[in-house]
């Protein structure tokens, strides 16, 4: 992979994806990979996300783009392709990871497939949690259904993970609330909350209950996820029942 790291542009097969970092696909020795490295403005972008996080549960830390990438390198190294892309190569400022071919929640064309997707996304999340890795940016847009299962594909960002149980609970909440931002369908979002009944770790579920009761204010939830007051209350009521 040393040759690849020195000549990434030589193996590029498409333009940059629309993202906060520079992300693009490459093909090397017949295999596809994803390259990720920070933009020049990554520190400003991360500052914005940290500010936005203050209106949720204040877990995202101010960081440089490089530190955010390094955090992803650390987590992918721990997971070794377990419900996440394999880390193939890296330097202090960039990473090369497995290209996951598959479909996203947006590709689902009916409520039933949305529900099935969310159930499996939660299973993949809990598998990641079992090895004490926290996703951090647990937005449902970052889940891909591949040929061999479901994968969470984005782990950059620096988060306060001093309390692992709380961090895992926040992963779950972010997945639920981000479902509405992604689908604009309150039924699917409410079912995302229902799926939490299948999360096995009772300690994490107890922490979820603690976080939503008395719970997020509508203002806090709205800023990050744009849910209205009624939907926010419905989500909280469901979580109180299943946790």
186-231, pLDDT tens digit by residue?
999 999 999 999 999 999 999 999 988 766 665 565 555 678 888 9
Residue 154's nearest CA partner among 136, 127, 179 is 136
Q: Quote the tokens at residue 54.
A: 């203050």
pLDDT reported for residue 59: 86
Please count the helices (runs of H) and the strands (runs of E) in the chain. 9, 7
Q: What is the pLDDT of residue 216?
A: 62
Distance (Å) of CA 191 to CA 14, 56, 136, 174, 238: 36, 21, 22, 14, 9
Please tell me the distance from the alpha carbon of residue 153 to that of residue 97, in angstroms, as a whole number.
10
CA atoms within 13 A on the CB side of 133: 26
CATH match of 2-98 with 3.30.1490.20: no
CB 212 within 8 A of CB 169: no
Mean per-residue pLDDT for 160-188? 93
pLDDT value, residue 241? 95
With a threshold of 0.75, does the pTM exceed it?
A: yes
Give the tens place of pLDDT for each residue, 12-22. Answer: 999 999 888 99
């Amino acid at each position: 992979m040393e040759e690849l790291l020195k000549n990434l542009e030589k193996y590029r097969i498409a333009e940059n994806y629309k993202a906060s970092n520079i992300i693009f696909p490459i093909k090397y020795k017949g295999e596809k990979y994803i390259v990720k490295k920070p933009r020049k403005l990554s520190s400003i972008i991360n500052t914005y996300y940290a500010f936005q996080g203050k209106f949720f549960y204040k877990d995202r830390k101010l960081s440089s783009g490089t530190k955010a990438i390094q955090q992803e390198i650390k987590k992918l190294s721990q997971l070794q392709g377990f419900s996440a892309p394999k880390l193939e190569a890296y330097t202090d400022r960039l990473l090369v990871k497995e290209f996951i071919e598959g479909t996203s929640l947006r590709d689902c064309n009916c409520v039933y497939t949305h529900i099935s997707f969310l159930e499996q996304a939660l299973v993949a999340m809990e598998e990641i949690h079992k090895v004490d890795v926290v996703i951090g940016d647990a937005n449902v847009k970052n889940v891909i259904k591949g040929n061999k299962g479901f994968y969470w594909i984005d782990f950059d960002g620096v988060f306060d993970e001093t309390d692992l149980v709380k961090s895992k609970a926040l992963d779950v909440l972010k997945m639920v609330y981000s479902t509405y931002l992604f689908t604009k369908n309150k039924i699917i979002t409410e079912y995302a909350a229902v799926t939490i009944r299948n999360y096995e770790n009772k300690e994490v579920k107890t922490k979820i209950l603690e976080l939503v009761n008395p719970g997020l204010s509508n203002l806090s939830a709205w800023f990050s996820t744009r849910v209205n007051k009624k939907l926010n209350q419905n989500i909280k009521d469901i979580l109180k029942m299943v946790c």
